[in-house]
């Protein structure tokens, strides 16, 4: 689909009609005013103000044919501007970058935001083997070639960050710089992450292992997609209730066990925005996104040739100090993964850590993330 955005209610961009299954569910935001907290970013601070996001009606949505898949992609900003590719994570779609698209485009950048393969309105391949890291990096290269992007900066969040760092490893000649949000680059490992998990869990529950058996996790996630999304958005955020009691991993059989999400939505998420995510996953289910996880061991095998190679590109990292991935399970601390970035990336330009911010970094703290990204982009284009 080319031209001005059409059918956005179906595709998730813009305000949506009421989604079946949401009737009667209080999706009001938490009563805590978003502007009540200051989040500090590398020496500067700004309040997160109450905001009404502009409608996204004039964003151009394209179907980019890459051969084996077609990616539903927003392209916004001047055609001759330096290119920026934004890659979303799990369980999200390109809409998770809604707060970044306009500020980056207004600064002169051509912003490219796909629903990655298996997500949203993009192609959903059927086979688990169609979701290896080489397929995902290949999709980024396909966007670069099809849209004739010259030396783009690739920025990714969560799984998008994993794809981004592999772009920096495997095809560094195709990009100018990379930035990872929430998930740092993994150090060289003698075992796959699944083997490491299996060696540490003593038979206990771990969500990545839970995701491996086709059909098992789908019973929880597809069985109540709206409930699952509310839980994961709440419990992985900086607004997670302090009194949450984690399930016992030795008796846990599903990701969230018997945990109930707080009423409403986290204070950074509007009801219409939640519907954008809910509609995508109610429509498609979670099998394709879970297939990314089902390639974790295979990806370790496929990337053996790059295992001890550093990233020499200009690199940035942004993370929330209340993000379990960043803090290693100790709120407010910096985990080993972030510290490894100092060694694994020879040109680490920025490492910005945001107080009180959880896993959904660019949605929870859009002003701070935008400021960090704009400073990084100005630096690499200076």
DSSP per residue, 121-156: TS---SSGGGGSHHHHHHHHHHHHHHTT--S-EEEE
| Omega prior to 153 cis, within 30 of 0 | no
pTM of the model: 0.88
Q: Which ranges constitute the DSSP H helices of the chain?
A: 8-11, 98-106, 133-146, 159-170, 193-200, 207-210, 216-221, 225-235, 271-284, 287-293, 296-302, 324-327, 336-344, 361-364, 366-380
Q: How confident is the model at residue 342 (pLDDT cuts 50, 70, 90)?
A: confident
State the pLDDT confidence band at 25, using cuts at 50, 70 and 90. Answer: low
State residue 337's pLDDT score. Answer: 87
Q: Which residues pair with 65 in a beta bridge?
A: 70
Residue among 33, 36, 56, 39 nearest 365 (CA): 39
The alpha-carbon radius of gyration of the chain (Å, integer) is 19
**How far is Cα 89 from Cα 114, in angstroms, rounded to an integer?**
11
Query: From CA 102, how far away is CA 316, in angstroms rounded?
Result: 21
- pLDDT computed for residue 57 by the predictor: 59
Whether residue 289 contacts residue 25, with contact meaning beta carbons closer than 8 Å, is answered with: no
Phi first, then psi: what are they for 107, rounded to 5°?
-85, 0
* Topology (CATH level 3) of domain 37-380: Rossmann fold (3.40.50)
Per-residue pLDDT tens digits for 82-123: 999 999 999 999 999 999 999 999 999 999 999 999 999 999
The pLDDT tens digits for 188-228 are 889 999 999 999 888 899 999 999 999 999 999 999 999 99
Catalytic residue set: 158, 359
How far apart CA 232 and CA 33 sit, in angstroms, is: 21
Nearest-CA neighbor of 70 among 11, 155, 17, 151?
A: 11
pLDDT exceeding 70 applies to what percent of the chain? 85
Residue spans of the domains in the chain: they are 37-380
> Could you report the per-residue pLDDT of 245-290, keeping only the tens digit for each?
888 999 999 999 889 999 999 999 999 999 999 999 999 999 999 9
Output the pLDDT for position 334.
87
How many CA atoms within 13 Å lie on the side-chain side of 124?
A: 15
Determine the pLDDT at residue 27.
54
Give the pLDDT band (50/70/90) at residue 314: very high
Query: pLDDT tens, 239-250?
Result: 999 888 888 999
């Amino acid at each position: 689909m080319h031209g001005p955005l059409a059918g956005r209610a179906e595709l998730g961009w813009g305000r949506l009609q009421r989604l079946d299954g949401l009737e009667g569910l209080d999706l009001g935001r938490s009563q805590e005013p978003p502007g009540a907290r200051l989040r500090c970013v590398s020496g500067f601070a700004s309040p997160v103000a109450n905001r009404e996001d502009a409608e996204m009606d004039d964003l151009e949505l394209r179907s980019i044919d890459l051969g084996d898949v077609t990616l539903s992609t927003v392209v916004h900003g001047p055609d001759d501007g330096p290119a920026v590719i934004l890659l979303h994570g799990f369980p999200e779609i390109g809409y998770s970058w809604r707060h970044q698209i306009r500020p980056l485009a207004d600064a002169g950048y051509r912003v490219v935001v796909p629903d990655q393969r298996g997500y949203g309105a993009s192609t959903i391949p059927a086979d688990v083997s169609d979701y290896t890291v080489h397929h995902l990096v290949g999709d980024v290269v396909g966007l670069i070639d099809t849209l004739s992007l010259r030396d783009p900066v690739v920025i990714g969040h969560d799984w998008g960050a994993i794809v981004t760092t592999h772009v920096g490893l495997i095809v560094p000649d195709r990009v100018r710089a990379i930035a990872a949000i929430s998930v740092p680059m993994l150090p060289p490992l003698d075992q796959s992450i699944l083997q490491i998990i299996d060696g540490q869990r003593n038979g206990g529950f771990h969500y990545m292992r839970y995701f491996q058996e086709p059909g098992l996790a789908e019973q929880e996630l597809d069985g109540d997609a709206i409930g699952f999304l509310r839980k994961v958005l709440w419990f992985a955020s900086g607004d997670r209730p302090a009194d949450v009691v984690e399930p016992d991993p030795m008796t846990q059989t599903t990701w969230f066990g018997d945990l109930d999400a707080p009423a409403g939505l986290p204070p950074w998420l509007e009801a219409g925005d939640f519907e954008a995510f809910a509609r995508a996953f109610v429509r498609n289910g979670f099998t394709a996104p879970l297939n990314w996880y089902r390639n974790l061991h295979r990806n370790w095998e496929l990337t053996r040739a790059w295992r001890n190679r550093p990233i020499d590109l200009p690199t940035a990292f942004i993370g929330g100090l209340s993000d379990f991935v960043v803090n290693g399970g100790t709120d407010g601390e910096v985990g080993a993964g972030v510290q490894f970035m100092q060694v694994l990336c020879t040109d680490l330009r920025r490492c910005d850590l945001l107080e009180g911010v959880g896993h959904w970094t660019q949605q929870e703290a859009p002003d701070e993330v935008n400021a960090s990204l704009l400073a990084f982009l100005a630096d690499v284009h200076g």
